[in-house]
Structure 1
């Protein structure tokens, strides 16, 4: 049964951030609102109780005469109404004045004594209804003797909640939530636009179109660096793709040429187009061409193996001076060429390095072979190998008296598959020798570089850790 894994549903960055931020913002402000409401309730209750106490004290002062009796002035109702409006006290508040015997002297709104005892307890200190609260203020005469009491009955709801304050809290929270969401929305939108452009350009690159222009200009340093880096990456990918196509064509051509030559030579021998000494000469040429083909395939395999990390590089303690002397001697024996001279300028004392003797030999041999290919057969071939220690590194300079590397080729000679125009005409190969040698040197903690080059010869420098 074919079970396909469903890819998760994706949403835009703008929607993802703004929706989640809005939810988090609302939850956070709901908690703040609940805390603010409880705080406002306690604060409002304390403030309104104090205000009711002040009102009760003022009424007590107004109804007390100089003789120490209770006398309700005729305009008391109007005064209380003004005070209720001034102190922003609920108009439904009930104010009751009683004497020391509990007799009703005044009430606003007007109620009977029976109704008064329905509202207040028998001792006139608390409200009978649990939804109301009684704020009592004693009426004292000049001798500080209580001659009566002012009781103000207010609903607990009016004491704890103020419509204006609640409205202010809700409006404030709504403004904060909307401003926070709007801020993130605008920032997310500003961020998502360049990211969307980069994503669209990446899709074009996946489709094989490397000519992408984002045309995105922002003041944010990181986003602008991202856009610039992406455009630069697209151009480099374009150049690499062009270079890959050219390199593949060049490698194919270099491998095809000896195969075609070998095929033509062997067919000529098979079909008796040539015979005798000439046939043997054709076979010798075919063998040389097969040897070149073998070396090119070997270079390609070695390079691929090293770049894939499947080539082991040993770390042995080596006397580099003795190794170079041995490599130069063996190479000179295998190249029986008249007037070939290798000059060794090596220190007398041992110079040790941690490396792989086989890989170091490959590097030195490759440099000598390159120098031999660049030599002028009309003059004696001369090599100079100089070794010295400097700054914790061992330096091995291999110099030749060949034709040198042209200035326009010097910055490219270590690039894979690169071969200068002169070398393309004179020597067959894949252009991997120097690239492979440099990778081997770096794998051992060193490096390989072109020290100098001119029509009089070239000098390559191998550095290895001492």
Structure 2
């Protein structure tokens, strides 16, 4: 029977302050330790070299003092006093050893006192080097009239030659001070850097749980950190607005879809229960049919918008005769609105005007603009529109002007947002507020744009701008526009 493997527990996370300060502290310790080791080695080498030169000078002075008449070695009685003065002058310690030997290697003088056997203990068998590797020494020949009378050995402990205890303590204290200063600097910088990041992380956690009331009162001297905090603050404000708008939009969509359903249900139940007369029942069914058609249009708008947002709506890029297309759109639309008898004036230059786009999608945009303009007119007005085609550089523009009541200034920046409907439009017509949003998406999909050019109580002007078609090479000639009705 296979045992079930337990999942590995998640690794414990550490704070940014602890993570970086600990690692920087270890790096500082390693780095300064290597520097201190190199410094101590340099001090040791320099100290040995200096001490050996000092010992050689002492040996030369002793060699001059022990030279007597007749080419003989003569140990003066004040040699101990001389050695004491020199030891005090050279600031040496007790690990200092001096031996005066004649040519037969007999001990003539030593400091400290020692016997002939001790000479063999301190020197090698050939008497040319210290026996103990922990000692360093120099030898000076005693000469008189170019005749060698003997040798002066000056030896000292290598340990005492390297550095004193005071030197070691000073180096350790300096090393500790540098490490602490470096660590404190890094700790202070890391703390200063991590503080705004912690606040931003806390604010992000608050947004994650749905609290958009975050307070990021941070002002740092670092440009990048200020940009991060400012961007996050703007993002939180925008998310709050989007969340409020989402809730409001969902409520509005739910209300707009629920209203015709409730109306249809009530009308059908009245007919079914014979509450109304047969003539009134027929009228009720007509009303229910109109309500179902309105709801069908709202659902179709919602589906079209979702499909366009998901990128599943195909948009063609072909050459279209814009003048001919707009005339056909006007003709077809006036037939569907025959009961209101709208008047439409088309202003365009003579000749063909070719643009690059999708004829069917252009028709959807213009029809939506005309329907919106029709809804914006009061009941006392005669529906009238003016459509103008003009070339603007590398684009062709279609200006659709209505003579309705206009759009309120506070509503103009929001009319292209999804599910947005002005107060006046909410009272007059029912819808989801997706028409202009979907139309702008269609325009952008054709490499064009749709925007509100102007609006006032005398009417509004919307502009659809499409890329201008330029004649290609013969082998790249594109298909001329064909009517979407006949296509």
Check whether TM > 0.5.
yes
Aligned in 2, Cα 1:264/1:45: closer, same or farther, shift over 3 Å? Answer: same
2:373 match: 371
For 2:168 and 2:86, locate their aligned partners in 1 and report how far apart those are by CA, in whole Å: 23
In the other structure, the counterpart of 1:209 is 211
Match of 1:308 in 2: 310
Alignment partners' CA distance in 2, 1:335 and 1:378: 17
Distance in 1 (alpha carbons) for counterparts of 2:11 and 2:437:
45
Tell me which residue corresponds to 1:118: 121
Residues 1:60 and 1:431: Cα distance change in structure 2 (over 3 Å): same
In the other structure, the counterpart of 2:34 is 31
* TM-superposed deviation, 1:458: 0.7
For residue 419 of structure 2, the aligned residue among 412, 417, 426 is 417
Aligned partner of 2:250 in structure 1 is 248
1:449 maps onto 2:438 in alignment = no
2:59–2:152 Cα contact (<8 Å) kept:
yes
Deviation track 1:64-119 (CA, whole Å, cap 9, x = no partner) reads 57987654443332332343344343421211223445343322112223322332
More displaced, 405-414 or 180-189?
Answer: 180-189
For the 8 Å contact 2:400–2:462, the answer to whether it is kept is yes
- State the TM-score, normalized to the length of structure 2: 0.85
On the 8 A contact 1:125/1:134 being kept in 2, the answer is no
Deviates more, 1:316-325 or 1:171-180: 316-325
Change (3 A) 1:57 1:317: farther
| Pairwise CA distance, 1:453 | 0.8
Kindly tell me: are residues 257 and 44 of structure 1, through their superposed partners in 2, closer, same or farther at Cα, counting changes over 3 Å? same
Partner of 2:326 in structure 1? 324
Within 1, Cα distance between the matches of 2:283 and 2:70?
153
**Once superposed, what is the RMSD of the aligned Cα atoms?**
2.8
Task: Tell me the CA shift for residue 159 of structure 1.
Answer: 3.4
- Which aligned pairs between 1:185-200 and structure 2 lie closer than 5 A? 185-200=187-202
Q: Distance in 2 between matches of 1:9 and 1:20?
A: 17
Alpha-carbon distance between aligned partners in 2 of 1:108 and 1:414, rounded to the nearest angstrom: 106
**Counterpart mapping for 1:293-442 below 5 A:** 293-337=295-339, 339-442=341-444
Ranges in structure 2 where 5+ consecutive residues have no aligned partner: 469-487
The change in CA–CA distance for 1:139 and 1:354 in structure 2 (over 3 A counts) is farther
Cα distance in 1 between the residues matched to 2:70 and 2:451: 118
Say whether the 8 Å CA contact 2:267–2:285 is kept in structure 1.
Answer: yes
Question: Secondary structure of 2:462's match?
Answer: strand
8 Å contact from structure 2 (residues 135, 156) kept in 1: yes
Q: 1:60 to 1:262 in 2, by over 3 A?
A: same
Using the TM superposition, give the Cα deviation of residue 299 of structure 1 relative to its aligned residue in structure 2, in angstroms: 1.3
Per-residue CA deviations over 1:192-215 (Å, capped at 9, x if unaligned) read: 333333333333333332223244
Q: Which residue of 1 aligns with 2:12?
A: 9
Deviates more, 1:435-444 or 1:346-355: 346-355
- Residues 304, 147 of structure 1: alpha-carbon distance in 2 compared, 3 angstrom cutoff: same
Distance 2:130 2:22 in 1: 50
Deviation of 1:63 after TM superposition, in Å, equals 4.1
* Residue-by-residue CA offset, 1:285-333 (whole Å, 9 max, x unaligned): 2221111111111112222222233333333344444433333332233
Q: Deviations over 1:123-168 (max 9, x none)?
A: 5421223332321123344x55444322112233333454344333
Q: How far is 1:228 from its partner? A: 4.0
Contact in 1 for aligned 2:451/2:464 (Cα 8 Å): yes
Q: Distance in 2 between matches of 1:80 and 1:465?
A: 106
Alpha-carbon shift at residue 377 of structure 1 (Å): 4.3
Distance 1:361 1:50, change over 3 A: farther
| Unmatched tracts of structure 1, length 5 or more | none
User: What is the SS of the residue equivalent to 2:346?
Assistant: strand
Q: Distance in 2 between matches of 1:11 and 1:414?
A: 47
Shift of 1:244: 1.9
* Secondary structure at 2:267 match in 1: helix
- Is the alpha carbon distance of 1:320 and 1:147 closer, same or farther for their aligned partners in structure 2, counting shifts above 3 Å? farther
Deviation larger for 38-47 or 456-465: 38-47
My pick for the range that moved more, 92-101 or 61-70, is: 61-70
| Secondary structure of the corresponding residue to residue 397 of structure 2 | strand
* Secondary structure, counterpart of 1:150 in structure 2: strand
Equivalent-residue separation in structure 2 for 1:464 and 1:133 (angstroms):
96
Matches of 2:352 and 2:83 in 1, distance apart?
114
Question: How many Å separate the matches in 1 of 2:464 and 2:146?
Answer: 111
Change (3 A) 1:359 1:72: farther
Shift of 1:353: 4.1
In structure 2, distance between residues paired with 1:452 and 1:62: 116
In the comparison of the two structures, how many residue pairs are matched? Answer: 465
Distance 2:364 2:5 in 1: 53
Distance 1:121 1:304, change over 3 A: same
Q: Per-residue deviation at 1:337?
A: 4.1
Structure 1's 312 and 148: CA in aligned 2 closer, same or farther, altered over 3 A? farther
Distance 1:309 1:144, change over 3 A: farther
CA gap 1:320/1:149 in 2 versus in 1, 3 angstroms: farther
* 1:60 and 2:59 aligned: no
Q: Return the alpha-carbon distance in structure 2 between the equivalents of residues 144 and 91 of structure 1.
A: 34
Question: 2:126 aligned with 1:129, yes or no?
Answer: no
In structure 2, what is the Cα distance between the partners aligned to 1:43 and 1:391?
A: 83
